[in-house]
Structure 1
Amino acid sequence: MPTAVDIFIPCFVDQLFPQTAMNMVKVLEAVGCEVHYNNNQTCCGQPAYNAGYKAESREVACKFLDDFPNEPGRYIVSPSASCVGMVRNSYAELFDGSPEQGRYHGTQRRIFELTEFLVDVLGVTSIPQARLSGTYTYHDSCSALRECGIKEAPRRLLDAVPGLERLEMAENETCCGFGGTFAVKFEAISVAMAEQKVEHALATGANYIVSTDTSCLMHLDAYIRREKKPIQTLHVADVLASGW
C-alpha cells in the first residue's frame, strides 16, 4: 500500500520556485508515495512569528492545523526545513496551554523535511533515476541543522547521484545571512554573510551550492547574480529530480 503524503508548499516556493515543488512531488511519487495537495493551504505563520506578531502568527498556525488534520498513517512533507522547524518547535510556544495543543502534538510527530522523510522514515538512500554531472558543496541551513537536526540525510542522497561529487566548503554550518526579516533590517550584515558563504563555496571549485532551503539559496543566488560569480544554486529536490 502506498505511503500517503500531504505536501506543504511554503509561500516563497509556491510563488517563486514552483518547479522545486513539482520536483519534490516527482521524487515522492518515484519512491511509491501517494501524494496529496490541499489547495486551501497558505503559510505556516513563520514570517509573522519571527517579526514578533505572535497573535497573528497563531491565527495562521491554527489554519495550518485545519489544513492538515491528523489522520493515521499520513505524513506531511515539505521542501523547506525552515517551515518544518517552525511547526515542530515554535508551535509549541504558540499553542502552549491552548485547546489546539493536542492537535499540534499530532502534527509535530508527522511533519518532515523531504530528505529526512526519504532517509529516516522510508529508508530511501538514493533516487536511482537521478543524474547530474559536476561537483557540489552543501550549505547546512540554520533551520535544517539546528531546529531539525538534519545533516547526513541530504548528503547521503546527493552523494548517491551518479556523476555528482561533494566538495565540502569551510564553515558549511555558518548562516548564509538571510534569516527572513534579518536581511531587510540588517542589509549590510546580511549581504556580507552571503558574500562570505559564496566565497567559501567558490574556494572549493564546486559547480553548485545545494541546500534544503530555497530561502537560503534565493539569498545566495541574488549575490551570485549581482556579482556574476561562476556557481549555481540548486535545491536538493531539483538535484534528485535531474536527468529523468
Structure 2
Amino acid sequence: MKLLFSLILVMTIALNCCKSFNMGTNKIDYSKIENQVGQQQCFTSSGQLPTGYSSSYVMISFNGNHPTPSGIQQSSFLESGFMNIDLVGQQLYVDFLFDNGNTKTKGNLWGFGSNSTQYVSVNVNGTDYCFQQPLSYSVPAIEGLNYITDFELGTVQCDMFAGSPSSLANSTNLVLLVDKSDCSLISASTENINNTPSGYSLTNYYYYNPSADSAYFQLPSICLNPPNSKQLKLKSSVQLPKVLGNLPF
C-alpha cells in the first residue's frame, strides 16, 4: 500500500511537470500541429534509425494501459531493469524487477521473432525456473512516430515525437523525447485515450547505447532443459515485463 501511495505521489509530480511543459496529450490537437521539418534532427532518414539498442530503464505507471495475454488492462506499478533489443534480427532480452505493492517479480525474458518464442526465467524462494511459451509481444519496430517540435529537458535539446504503440491498439497516446545530439532515447510518457478511467505512465532511459549486444541472446542452460511440473505450474502466475508493451521502438 505504501508503494502505491508513493507511485501516486511520483506520478502526480511527473504529470504536473508534463502539464507545465504542455506535454499533456489531451491538451494537444495533433492534427493541427504543423510538422516543423526545419527543426527536426533525429530520424529524418533511414540511416539515422538504430538497428538495435540497449538501455537501463525505470517505468512508473498509474492506471496506465498495458497489453497482456488476455487483452489491454490498466495497472499501477514500478518496474526497472535493462533491455537489449536487436531490431533487425528480431531478438530481445529484458532483465526486470516488477513491483505493484502486492506482487514483486524479478526475472529475465528472451524473445525471438524468428520462431515467435519467448523464454522467461524467474527466481522463486531461491530456486530458478525457466519456461517456454509463444512470444507475447512483437519485437519492436520503428514506425508510426510523428515529429512534433523541439523541446528542452533541463539543458538537453530534444526532438519530440508522438505516436501510439502498436501493441496498445490505439488506446494510448505516446510522447517520446530524443536527444538531438545523438538521437538517443531519454523519456517516454503515455496517456490513456479511453479515459475510463484516465491513466498515465512514464519511462526514463539511462546509459542508452544505439546497438544491441548479441551476447545477451544466449539462453542459460536452465532454459534449454524440458520444464518440470513445477515450472509449468508457474507459467500462469509469473509477471512479464510491462515495458515491452510500451516501447516506442
Which structure has greater strand proportion?
A: 2
Task: State the TM-score, normalizing by the size of structure 1.
Answer: 0.24
Which structure has greater helix proportion?
A: 1
Task: State the TM-score, normalizing by the size of structure 2.
Answer: 0.24
